[in-house]
Homo-oligomer: A and B are copies of this chain.
Amino acid sequence: MPAQKNPDSNEDALVSRIARKLHFAKSAALPIGVGDDAALWHPTAGYQTVLTCDWFLEGSHFLREKHPADAVGWKCLARAASDIAAMGGKPRCFLLSLALPGELSGKWLDDFLGGLRRASKALRCEPAGGDTTRQDKVLINVTVIGEVRKDRAVLRSGARPDDLLFVSGTLGEADLGLRQLRTQKRVARASNAALRKHLYPEPRMALGYWLAQNRFATAMMDLSDGLSTDLPRLCKASGVGAVIAEGAVPRPSRIPEAQAVRLALDGGDDYELLFTVRPSNVPRFKRSMQKSFPRLAISNIGAITETKKLLLLKKEGVTQEFSSGGWDPFRKK
């Protein structure tokens, strides 16, 4: 609350430190950032602005005693940028709102800013400003500002009956990594692919942009809460249903099949893209994919239906209604 008296201005010092560590520099597109009342940003002519924000809270989204500070920094920006990929846009800049316990403003903060800076460089998304305050837990909110060429944004609502349904990469790996992290007694390291995907997810920026630019995707979203939670959202927005072949869903290897399937259907935090392609466009889409992304696995996991149901075709030939098992912070406990 206002009105406390104190001559030193630690908040300003903290803001300067953040700006320095993030190697914030003025650019033509971002003439004013950290340090004024607000950031000034030049939008590109012929583009729409894409806006998204994401919570990343200690205890809900990460555990201070198990997640490395550097991974917290990387992931808070990567997951917000993934929403820009899901619209077919490119990230441009971000705002960081950070609330921090006083005792973390040394090494923890430096490591956090190191991870954030790496993500900022990898995603070409510049720091533009933010807000800092003190709290007893680490609270992070990241706003990412991106751009998409006019009339190229891919919405959740564009899927039509008979469109084929695709996902990128492997589903369930990040959740497998989380399970491994939970069994560890100290701060985890990215010692295998699953842990790496949980700690340092790489949003599908190039794929999302390419799908939008080439008008291949009719609907698209990123998988943050798990296929079984996110697919219903896409179907609802489009006013359609879907049928999924369980056997076609790309899943983690080297673990029991039943567990791999559950993780692939319900596991959150993968940040892979879920998108639909018109049947007539599929041959051209597949040929172009092989040229542009020769090493990226894309799986056709099902198709869109007019009937507003979600059906799962099991391997045994049984069909069952697909029920949401992914992550929802407002679930009943």
Contact = CB atoms under 8 A, between A and B. Distances in A.
Contacts of A332: 6, 8, 10
B130 A330 contact: no
Contact of A331 (B10, B49, B84): B10
Contact of A55 (B36, B131, B229, B323): B131
Interface in A150-177: 153, 155-157, 174-175
Nearest to A49: B41
Given A146-B38, A326-B2, A330-B102, A131 B53 contact: yes
A9 B175 CA distance: 19
Interface of A: 1-14, 32, 35-43, 45, 48-55, 57, 60-61, 63, 83-84, 86-87, 89, 93, 95, 97, 99, 102, 105, 128-135, 139, 141, 143, 145-146, 148, 153, 155-157, 174-175, 178-179, 220-222, 225-226, 229, 232-233, 237, 266-269, 323-332
B51 A87 contact: no
Nearest to A32: B155
Contacts of A84: 37-38
Given A37-B83, A53-B141, A178 B3 contact: yes
A330 B95 contact: no
Contacts of A221: 36-37
Output the residue of A83, A133, A179 with the most chain B CB within 10 A.
A133
A3 B60 contact: no
A99 B327 CA distance: 16
Nearest to A326: B2
Interface SS majority for chain A? mixed
How many copies of the chain does the oligomer comprise? 2
15 contacts: A2-B226, A6-B331, A7-B324, A10-B328, A10-B332, A32-B155, A36-B221, A37-B84, A38-B50, A53-B141, A55-B139, A57-B99, A60-B135, A132-B330, A133-B330
8 shortest A-B CB distances, which residue pairs? Answer: A2-B268, A10-B330, A6-B331, A38-B52, A37-B86, A43-B43, A141-B141, A2-B327
Given A2-B226, A4-B327, A135-B60, A41 B48 contact: yes
Contacts of A153: 32, 40
Given A6-B328, A43-B49, A145-B145, 18 more contacts: A1-B60, A1-B327, A3-B266, A6-B324, A8-B324, A10-B328, A11-B330, A13-B330, A37-B83, A37-B221, A40-B48, A40-B49, A40-B153, A41-B50, A49-B49, A51-B95, A57-B133, A105-B330
